Amino acid sequence: MKDKHVLAFMRVFSILVLFAVFFSSSLAESNGTQIVHVPFVDVPILETHRTSFPKDKRYAVYSGPSEDYVRAANGKAAVSTNDAIQAFASENGWIMIQYAIDHDHHRIGWIKENANRFAPSISELPPCSQSATLKAGSVITDDPLFSQSPLMSFDMELNVYVLGQINDWIYIESDSGDLVRGFVHKDQLTPGNVFYFSDWLHDSSAWNGYLVLDQDNIAFESEQLIELNGISVPLASIDIYDNLSNQLLLTVSEKNELLHFEGSGYLPPETSSLRIVLFDTNMNEVKLDEDFVIEW
């Protein structure tokens, strides 16, 4: 149990350091507040390996390791084993490959084949359970290193799963609508599930800020003022509780160089909803129309 808390502390400390290092250069506007895009941590690096396949074979290519995933080229994406093929990893009897379509357009996708038979050195795709929030208007590609041709676009912000990375491109999976895997530029992602306070407060309240929930971490940032029925109320601190167990998880009172509240803490794996309690400069609880609860 002690080791678990030490690891949790080290993880939270590393995220706080990353906030400090990247704060000045990684700010983006979202819902009226400044949002920090924290670098991804411990995401597997995807590397290619040249391998040999039997000649004169042709494989259908899907964006992920099953026929349920999107298939590019209007559902006709395929590769010939007479062409050069590089392999990244394997998963459930499928191989993640890269091949050239023409001199300036490549494709990364999956073919159904026994990796151990043709590429014994190719290991399973490393597990990575990180989640992230993809910006509205983002484009996913299956060719991050050459043409960056779009495979699919997303009109709305959505949560995705992070699987790996190549340089500045993050390999993700989305099951919102069509099941698809592909690459998006790191600037299009915010690590963790992002909850903007403006989306959760009652209409009579206005407060710019957000929570990022990333595996076992909570990252928090907000402005100092909350609007209640047209009146600005300055805040002194914020308490964040597990809404079911009533355990206090995080108290935020420190401010960053933008004079925003900022903090980070441990998120228990069993937690599925948070309650946020605000305190004014007299340390009285700020009364809202209803409890400020975020659920997922």
Lowest mean pLDDT among 75-79, 227-231, 249-253, 263-267: 227-231
Domain ranges of the chain: 2-27+200-295, 49-118
> Which amino acid is residue 218, in one-letter code?
I
Q: How far is CA 175 from CA 138, 200, 234, 236, 267, in A?
A: 15, 24, 41, 40, 24
> Which amino acid is residue 278, in one-letter code?
L
* 129 HSE (CA, 13 A, CB side): 5
Lowest mean pLDDT among 196-205, 218-227, 278-287: 196-205
pTM assigned to the model: 0.65
> Which amino acid is residue 204, in one-letter code?
S
- The band of 116, judged by pLDDT with boundaries at 50, 70 and 90, is low
Highest mean pLDDT among 21-35, 193-207, 259-273: 259-273
Share of the chain above pLDDT 70, in %: 82
Highest mean pLDDT among 5-14, 25-34, 38-47, 207-216: 207-216
For residue 17, the model assigns a pLDDT of 40
Contact between 207 and 201 (Cβ < 8 Å): yes
Average pLDDT over residues 155-183: 92
Using DSSP bridges, classify how beta strands 58-60 and 273-280 pair: parallel, antiparallel or unpaired.
Answer: unpaired
For residue 264, the model assigns a pLDDT of 95
Q: Which residue from 88, 79, 190, 220 is spatially nearest to 130, judged by alpha carbons? A: 190
Q: Look at residue 185 and tell me whether its pLDDT is greater than 90.
A: yes
Question: What are the phi and psi torsion angles at 19 (to 5°)?
Answer: -60, -45
Q: Look at residue 19 and tell me whether its pLDDT is greater than 70.
A: no
Tokens at 11, concatenated = 């993880």
Higher pLDDT, 288 or 250: 250
SS3 81: coil
* Other CB atoms within 10 Å distance of the CB of residue 177: 11
For the domain 2-27+200-295, what is the CATH code?
A: 2.60.40.10
Q: Look at residue 95 and tell me whether its pLDDT is greater than 90.
A: yes
* Other CB atoms within 10 Å distance of the CB of residue 106: 18
Average pLDDT over residues 99-103: 94
Cα first-last separation, the chain: 26
Contact between 196 and 35 (Cβ < 8 Å): no
**What pLDDT, in 10s, does the model give residues 140-159?**
999 999 999 999 999 988 88
Report the distance separating Cα 210 and Cα 191, nearest Å: 13
CA angle, corner 53, sides to 52 and 59, nearest 5?
A: 140
**What pLDDT, in 10s, does the model give residues 2-13?**
454 444 444 444
For the domain 49-118, what is the CATH code?
A: 2.30.30
